[in-house]
Amino acid sequence: MIKIIFLFVVTALAEIVGCFLPYLWLRKGGSIWLLLPSAASLALFVWLLTLHPAASGRVYAAYGGAYVVTALMWLRFVDGVKLSTYDWVGAGVALVGMGIIVAGWKSV
């Protein structure tokens, strides 16, 4: 289970970086060259999704929970925004949902 969670977090980071870099280019005056590492990060994201041990639809559904938590951590530590109680509760709900889906992988 720890390996799966770690893989989800790395996958989420690859997706977030792949989307954040074009945001820097479009909204913050960053260089157009940011699109190159962005494309590489998104390609890594897609490849990482293939490493999960379940059908793609289940992986995408469970991945959503890890993505929510990782995005909130990005918000806190990269964007410097303090998380609210609602953020923490929402993250907990998302993780419970992810855990339920992942627990079912063994029964299928």
User: Domain count of the chain?
Assistant: 1
- What is the pLDDT, as a whole number, of residue 58? 82
Q: What is the DSSP letter of 104?
A: G
Domain span including residue 43: 2-107
108 has pLDDT over 60: no
Q: Residue 59 corresponds to which tokens in the numbers above?
A: 């992986």
* Predicted TM-score of the model (pTM): 0.84
Please compute, for residue 64, the number of CA atoms within 13 A of its CA located in the half-sphere on the CB side: 14
What is the per-residue pLDDT across 59-86, written as a single tens digit (0 to 9) for each? Answer: 888 889 989 999 999 999 999 999 999 9
Q: What is the pLDDT of residues 28-51, one digit of tens each?
A: 999 999 999 999 999 999 999 889
Dist. CA 17–CA 59, nearest whole Å: 20
